[in-house]
Amino acid sequence: MPYDAAVMAAVCREINEMRGARCEKVYGLSGEEISIILRGHGDSRRLYINAGASSPRMCFSSEDADNPATPPNFVMMLRKHIAGAVFEGADMMGSERAARLTFDTRDEMGFPCKRYLIVEIMNKYSNMILCRDGDKIVGASRTVDFTTSRLRQVLPGMTYETPPKQNKVDILDVDRDALFRAAADAGDTPADKFLIRGFAGLSPLLCREIAYRAGGSADAATCDCDGGRLWDAFSRVRETISTGEACEMSLVCDEAGRPFEFGAVDIVEYGDAYPKKTFMSPSAMVEEFFRERGRADRVSQRGHDIVKLVAAARRRIERKIEKLSEELEHAAEGEKYKRAGDIINSNLHLLRRGMTEAELVDYYDPECKTVRVTLDGRLSPSDNAQANYKKYAKCKTSAVVTSQQMELARAELDYIETVEDALSRASGDAELDELRAELSAAGYAKTLRSSAKGRVKSQPPQPDKYVTSGGYTVLCGKNNMQNDRLTMKTAAGGDWWFHVKGAPGSHAVMITPVGEEPSEVDFTEAAMIAAVNSSQRDGVSVAVDYTQVKNVKKPSGSKPGYVIYKTNWTAFVTPDRDRVAAMKVKK
């Protein structure tokens, strides 16, 4: 993973800026995900640690987290031992992706003591371990016994041991001569493979970067690498891990603007093929990379019931639409039956009971062509004509009813897509609970598990708040229930309403005092906010409709979030997530 030893060293260096700060609070949504509030030096910062298997990391975070009323046991243990303690600093443990956070506190008897929180960022083996003096383990977010691992156990009362070595040389112990000897022995082995197999502390990204700078290619053979450039690139990474000084931190994004690589060095192997962002803060870089992934993980874990319900509803509706389409195709054959009845009536003198088919003249055809007509031998010719007319009437009625059902099914599918869009942008348990309540009220489930139990009760989640360049407040709903409250209750008639055209998205309202007219820049920024908070957030030149709130109406009995409007204008904007994020007001 991109979170390597160099990134860990840079993060530890940044965290140490809060040395001497007091540990004010400890929050935790689960035993693997905690936030420690450090207050000191005239500032308060949230240290976020995730020891889960999918997105483990440690960094300062600017995002608020829910506070369960009944935290996990490991969080309660941390509160007991380090709440109110003084943070003395974070130290890297060699070149491993592990750090020791030291806290100066007092024990149960009031005597001064130290507590150590060891954070290991190692993918599925990530862990948080609380130790007392002598490295005696007090507790861990994930205990490891003999049935899980024979190499190292992590259990209360045992002495902490560093993660087992991987038969690699610590990068901090390598000098120029040792590197050259190892490179000579590697021969034509790809340089990135040679580096990752031989030295601890290097991620695949760092190995490719070193190989690229030394040999002009991310997979250059070791023997093709220039010795001087190889050592320069290697020693620069080594220095970053040793000191934590990273001045060239960068994050690489794909064509859609989604980050897929980051590092504590300037990433040059991709050239100009992908856009790149540079950062002064390693925490800001890590947070941006994991923001969308972390949100998706939380939704997947805590909103699994909603994801499953919405996916099932979509499949059901799509099957219904497919079946209705087939019925409409069948109903379209009604004219054929009417034509057959007319032809039979015009040729009654040529027909008799018992005939099963006949070649008849179609007098309704300008060329009076002869056509073959199928008959029921049990009926008289006139009854055969009436039977065809009945089929025509049935098809006509079916077409009307099926069209109505199709319209309702498509409207329901549009609603489900709005729920999927809101779910894709949900970030906390409170928003997920609102979606559960909405789906229950809409009749999609009698009961849905609520995560409200065990969490401090508070007012319903509020719309996101933004401030444009001109100082106008823009409120943006995060789901259909918030959209309804915002547009139909909160907003005034003279405020401006924005919504992406013809696609699921949030309602955005720009609060406008009576008699004021926002500038074009303010309108553009408000439209951009609506575009970013929609299913079209990755699009280019996205159409956004806008009008005054007084022109927006909600039909009686319509689904949550559904409105109609008139007298609107349309703006075309390209969503800029960074610009919109800069306008967002922190809670």
User: For residue 49, what is the domain's CATH number?
Assistant: 2.30.310.10
| pLDDT tens digit at each of 587 positions of the chain | 578 889 999 999 999 999 999 999 998 877 788 999 999 988 899 999 999 887 899 999 987 766 666 788 999 999 999 999 999 999 998 888 899 999 999 988 889 999 999 999 988 889 999 999 999 999 999 999 888 888 889 999 999 998 887 788 888 888 888 888 888 888 888 888 888 888 888 888 888 888 888 887 777 777 777 778 888 888 888 888 888 887 778 998 887 677 888 988 888 888 888 888 889 899 999 988 887 666 666 666 677 888 888 889 999 999 999 999 988 888 888 888 888 888 888 888 888 888 888 888 887 888 888 888 888 888 988 898 999 899 889 888 988 998 999 999 998 899 899 988 888 777 767 778 888 888 888 888 765 655 555 444 456 678 999 999 999 999 999 899 899 999 999 999 999 999 999 999 999 999 999 889 999 999 999 999 999 999 998 888 999 999 999 999 999 888 889 999 988 999 999 999 889 989 998 76
User: For residue 269, what is the domain's CATH number?
Assistant: 1.10.8
Domain boundary residue, one of 420, 435, 453: 420
The residue type at 418:
T
Domain boundary residue, one of 395, 420, 445: 420
CA distances 498 to 267, 349, 545, Å, are: 39, 68, 6
Q: 330 and 354 in one domain? A: yes
User: Strands 43-50 and 57-61: what pairing?
Assistant: antiparallel
Does the model's pTM come out above 0.85? Answer: no
Strand stretches in 254-356, DSSP E: 259-263, 276-278
CB 215 within 8 A of CB 226: yes
Burial class (CB in 10 A: 0-12, 13-18, 19+), 452: middle
**Long-range own/partner contacts, residues 178-184 (CB < 8 A, 24 or more apart):** 179/230, 179/231, 179/234, 180/227, 180/231, 183/222, 183/223, 183/225, 183/227, 183/230
Q: 274 and 191 in one domain? A: yes
Q: 54 and 18 in one domain? A: yes
Burial class (CB in 10 A: 0-12, 13-18, 19+), 407: exposed
Domain enclosing residue 189, as ranges: 169-299
CB 517 within 8 A of CB 544: no
Q: 98 and 25 in one domain? A: yes
CA gap 462, 466 in Å, rounded: 12
Q: 279 and 182 in one domain? A: yes
Q: 475 and 536 in one domain? A: yes
Query: Which is nearest to 503 in space by CA: 570, 577, 433?
Result: 570
Q: 173 and 288 in one domain? A: yes
pLDDT for 22 equals 95
Residue 453 within a domain: no
> What's the chain's length in residues?
587
Domain boundary residue, one of 234, 269, 299: 299
Taking only Cα atoms into account, the Rg of the chain, rounded to an integer number of angstroms, comes to 33
Strand partners, 543: 572
Q: 330 and 282 in one domain? A: no
pLDDT for 119 equals 95
Residue 273 within a domain: yes
pLDDT for 304 equals 80
Residue 346 within a domain: yes
Q: 109 and 11 in one domain? A: yes
Burial class (CB in 10 A: 0-12, 13-18, 19+), 343: buried
479: helix, strand or coil: coil
Residue 67 within a domain: yes
Residue 173 within a domain: yes
Q: 108 and 188 in one domain? A: no
Q: Which two tokens stand for residue 392?
A: 């025509």
pLDDT for 571 equals 95
> Which residues, at least 6 apart from 189, have a Cβ–Cβ distance to it below 8 Å?
221, 222
pLDDT for 456 equals 45
Helix axis angle, 304-331 to 429-441, nearest 10°? 40
Q: 208 and 88 in one domain? A: no
pLDDT for 446 equals 64
Residue 454 within a domain: no
Burial class (CB in 10 A: 0-12, 13-18, 19+), 150: exposed
Residue 30 within a domain: yes
Query: What is the full DSSP assignment across 17-62?
Result: GGTT-EEEEEEEEETTEEEEEEEETTEEEEEEEE--SSS-EEEEE-
Q: Which helix (H) or strand (E) holds 520?
A: helix 520-532
Q: 122 and 36 in one domain? A: yes
Residue 470 within a domain: yes
Angle (CA) 148-115-238 rounded to 5° is 75
Tokens 């409200």 locate to 452
User: How many structural domains is the chain composed of?
Assistant: 4
CA gap 276, 187 in Å, rounded: 33
